[in-house]
């Protein structure tokens, strides 16, 4: 009965709004959503063609004919290339200026500069806009109608691909691994260059779930006085590169115990787990560190919904990222949700510092 009353009220309200609303704007908004899939496909296309790198090699500005010549685009396809670049210019990925003779010159923006070069985020574009990431969303209606069961897929990703996002079989997917590595490297640079104070005063650090130790090695290089260790599952540690002395690798299970250190680092770990498991992990972290006045803390890098500067693009990006996390059985959390987890785990205080888009560094104190 309540749903019927609400529905009738909304229908009445919608009819009133429609009589006054600019229907051109309404259709534009609807079609914007319908065709929004074209933007990531267009971006993936220019990345696969190497267009950002081609523009970069020409000093940051290039005409269509130069772009075509440098990327192997057939001369007969230049009108199509113009349409592609016009879309990405309108959406802010590239800049454009018209010369005195009427020729358009395309330039890189801060966003398109992020996919230039071997250290760029081109592999993230290829993965996130590729079939492995996109295909599961075709199954979302079926997923939403599926009741949880012991033998049912644990995520939308698993429903589509027959394995979880974290299955060891995914190790053979170079695009997935390269994307994760590229994003990790960018995060490391952002944290150490602009927020290095997070690590000042520490004498020891253990990176839990730190894989092959890229973050720990970067910290050890930037802060030679910090003794860094990486703890991960035995099969991950077994495949780690040969130790060079800067980082110690430890096989273990974060649900059981964590080696003692001034600080524990959790990079992109907690979004993979539900609230109860996050509390268990953080309690093990609390057991491993000294009191706050002795420098003890947990350093977390995660998305905190709503924590950074707010505009429509940022808000939509956060919500899309959050929906993608649900696809892979992850969780996007707002600050009050993180606060509850920290409190339930026995921590007294925390500090959130946005560092890269929706990603923040959270310092949690015992």
Residue whose pair of structure tokens reads 């290339």 in the numeric block:
81
Report the half-sphere exposure of 232 (CA within 13 A, side-chain side).
21
* 173 or 38: which leads in pLDDT: 38
pLDDT value at residue 155: 86
Query: How sure is the predictor about 181, in pLDDT bands with cuts at 50, 70 and 90?
Result: low
Instruction: Tell me which of 82, 113, 144 is where a domain ends.
Output: 113
Same domain, yes or no, for 346 and 249?
yes
Residue 331: which of 319, 318, 322 has the closest Cα? 322
> How many CB atoms within 10 Å of residue 169?
11
> How many CB atoms within 10 Å of residue 231?
26
Same domain, yes or no, for 70 and 153?
no
Same domain, yes or no, for 100 and 213?
no
d(CA 357, CA 6): 37
pLDDT over threshold 70, residue 31 = yes
Mean pLDDT throughout 191-220? 86
Question: 152: domain CATH number?
Answer: 3.40.50.150
pLDDT value at residue 175: 62
Residue 240 region by backbone torsions, left for phi larger than 0, else alpha for psi between -120 and 50, else beta: beta
CB 237 within 8 A of CB 249: yes
Number of folded domains that form the chain: 2
271 carries an active-site annotation: yes
CB 267 within 8 A of CB 181: no
| Ranges 10-24, 122-136, 192-206, 325-339: which has the least confidence | 10-24
pLDDT value at residue 146: 85
Residue whose pair of structure tokens reads 């199509």 in the numeric block:
80
Residue 283: which of 272, 294, 275 has the closest Cα? 275
Total length of the chain: 366
Q: Which two tokens stand for residue 75?
A: 């001369």
For residue range 54-65, list pLDDT tens digits in order. 999 999 999 999
* 313 or 146: which leads in pLDDT: 146
Q: Which two tokens stand for residue 300?
A: 């977390």
* Residue 21 resides in a domain: no
pLDDT value at residue 21: 59
Query: How sure is the predictor about 266, in pLDDT bands with cuts at 50, 70 and 90?
Result: very high
Mean pLDDT throughout 102-127? 87
Residue whose pair of structure tokens reads 């019927």 in the numeric block:
4
CB 361 within 8 A of CB 353: yes
Residue whose pair of structure tokens reads 């290095």 in the numeric block:
196
* Residue 287 resides in a domain: yes
Any bridge partners for residue 333, and if so which?
A: 304
**What is the DSSP secondary-structure string of 132-189?**
HHHGGGGGHHHHHTPPP-TTS-SSHHHHHHSS-TT-GGGGG-HHHHHHHHHHHHHHHH
pLDDT over threshold 60, residue 101 = yes
| Ranges 103-117, 240-254, 303-317: which has the least confidence | 303-317
* Residue 359 resides in a domain: yes
Beta-strand relationship, 297-305 and 333-334: parallel
| Active-site residue, selected from the candidate residues 56, 161, 271, 321 | 271
* Residue 123 resides in a domain: no
For residue range 44-93, list pLDDT tens digits in order. 999 999 999 999 999 999 999 999 999 999 999 999 999 999 999 999 99
Beta-strand relationship, 204-208 and 263-267: parallel
Query: How sure is the predictor about 178, in pLDDT bands with cuts at 50, 70 and 90?
Result: low
Same domain, yes or no, for 99 and 233?
no
Q: Which range marks the domain in which residue 151 is found?
A: 133-365
* Residue 126 resides in a domain: no
Mean pLDDT throughout 317-321? 84
Query: How sure is the predictor about 13, in pLDDT bands with cuts at 50, 70 and 90?
Result: low
Same domain, yes or no, for 209 and 282?
yes
pLDDT value at residue 43: 95
Q: Which two tokens stand for residue 117?
A: 């070069």
* 213 or 170: which leads in pLDDT: 213
Same domain, yes or no, for 148 and 101?
no
pLDDT value at residue 149: 86
Exposure class string for 299-308: b at 16+ Cβ within 10 A, else e: bbbbbbbebb
Same domain, yes or no, for 105 and 214?
no
pLDDT value at residue 17: 52
Q: Which two tokens stand for residue 55?
A: 């523009």
Residue whose pair of structure tokens reads 């063609």 in the numeric block:
49
For residue range 341-363, list pLDDT tens digits in order. 999 999 999 999 888 777 889 99
* Residue 25 resides in a domain: no
pLDDT value at residue 179: 65
Same domain, yes or no, for 162 and 74?
no
Any bridge partners for residue 364, and if so which?
A: 298, 350
**What is the DSSP secondary-structure string of 179-247?**
HHHHHHHHHHHHHHHH-GGGGTT-SEEEEET-TT-HHHHHHHHH-TTSEEEEEE-HHHHHTSPPP-SSE
Mean model confidence pLDDT for the chain: 85
Residue whose pair of structure tokens reads 């560094």 in the numeric block:
361
pLDDT over threshold 70, residue 15 = no
Residue whose pair of structure tokens reads 């590729």 in the numeric block:
130
pLDDT value at residue 240: 76
Residue whose pair of structure tokens reads 């003794």 in the numeric block:
227
Same domain, yes or no, for 261 and 337?
yes
**What is the DSSP-derived secondary structure letter of residue 293?**
G
């Amino acid at each position: 009965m309540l749903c019927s009353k609400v529905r009738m009220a909304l229908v009445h309200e919608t009819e009133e709004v429609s009589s006054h609303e600019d229907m051109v704007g309404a259709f534009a908004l609807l079609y914007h959503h319908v065709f929004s899939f074209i933007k990531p496909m267009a971006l993936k296309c220019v990345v696969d063609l190497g267009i950002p790198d081609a523009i970069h090699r020409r000093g940051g500005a290039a005409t269509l004919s130069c772009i075509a010549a440098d990327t192997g685009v057939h001369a007969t396809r230049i009108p199509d290339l113009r349409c592609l670049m016009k879309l990405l210019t309108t959406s802010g990925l590239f800049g454009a200026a018209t010369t005195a003779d009427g020729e358009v010159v395309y330039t890189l923006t801060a966003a398109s500069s992020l996919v230039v070069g071997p250290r760029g985020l081109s592999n993230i574009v290829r993965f996130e806009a590729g079939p492995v990431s996109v295909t599961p969303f075709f199954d979302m209606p079926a997923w939403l109608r599926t009741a949880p069961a012991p033998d049912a897929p644990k995520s939308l990703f698993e429903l589509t691909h027959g394995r979880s996002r974290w299955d060891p079989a995914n190790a053979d997917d170079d695009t997935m691994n390269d994307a994760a590595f590229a994003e990790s490297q960018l995060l490391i640079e952002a944290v150490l260059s602009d927020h290095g104070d997070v690590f000042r005063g520490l004498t020891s650090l253990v990176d839990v779930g730190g894989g092959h130790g890229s973050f720990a090695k970067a910290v050890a290089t930037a802060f030679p006085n910090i003794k860094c260790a990486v703890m991960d599952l035995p099969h991950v540690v077994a495949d780690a590169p040969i130790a060079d002395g800067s980082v110690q690798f430890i096989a273990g299970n974060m649900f059981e115990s964590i080696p003692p250190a001034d600080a524990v680092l959790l990079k992109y770990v907690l979004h993979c787990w539900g609230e109860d498991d996050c509390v268990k992990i953080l309690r093990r972290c609390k057991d491993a560190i000294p009191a706050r006045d002795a420098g003890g803390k947990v350093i977390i890098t995660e998305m905190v919904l709503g924590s950074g500067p707010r505009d429509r693009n940022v808000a939509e990006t956060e919500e899309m990222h959050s929906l993608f996390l649900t696809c892979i059985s992850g969780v996007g959390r707002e600050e009050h949700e993180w606060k509850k987890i920290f409190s339930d785990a026995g921590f007294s205080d925390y500090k959130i510092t946005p560092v890269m888009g929706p990603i923040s560094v959270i310092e949690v104190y015992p």
